[in-house]
Amino acid sequence: MIEPVRSRCLGVRVPAPTLEAVASVLLTVAKKESLALPPVLAQRVAAASGRNLRRALLMLEATKVSSYPFTEDQALQMPDWELYIASLAKEVA
């Protein structure tokens, strides 16, 4: 950003949502999509996403594509781009 604009702006820090808030959003989205999402699985997705709501929604979508209906103990799927980056990192290391 150019300095004249930056000097007139105020940076605002917005904290990440809590695990409970992320899980609540996941349950709401699942309900609106007519999916049966166990609360335990919603909590696991929220924790695995690092409280990142966008990442949690992508993980929920990937998990649904890989195996639906949901179970409480099913494996979580990472988004394709994260799997690709992980495989590239293994090749380099």
> Quick check: is 6 in a domain?
no
Output 81 or 16, whichever has higher pLDDT.
16
Confidence of residue 41 (pLDDT cuts 50, 70, 90): very high
Q: Tens digits of per-residue pLDDT, 43-72?
A: 999 999 999 999 999 999 999 999 999 999
SS3 content of the chain, % helix, strand, coil (to 5): 60, 0, 40
- For residue 80, give the CATH number of its domain: 1.10.8
Is residue 1 pLDDT above 70, yes or no? no
> Quick check: is 31 in a domain?
yes
**Run of H or E residues at 83:** helix 80-92
> Quick check: is 8 in a domain?
no
Q: What is the mean pLDDT of the chain?
A: 92
| Number of other CB atoms surrounding residue 60 within 10 Å | 25
Q: How many domains does the chain have?
A: 1
> Quick check: is 7 in a domain?
no
Domain hosting 64: range is 14-92
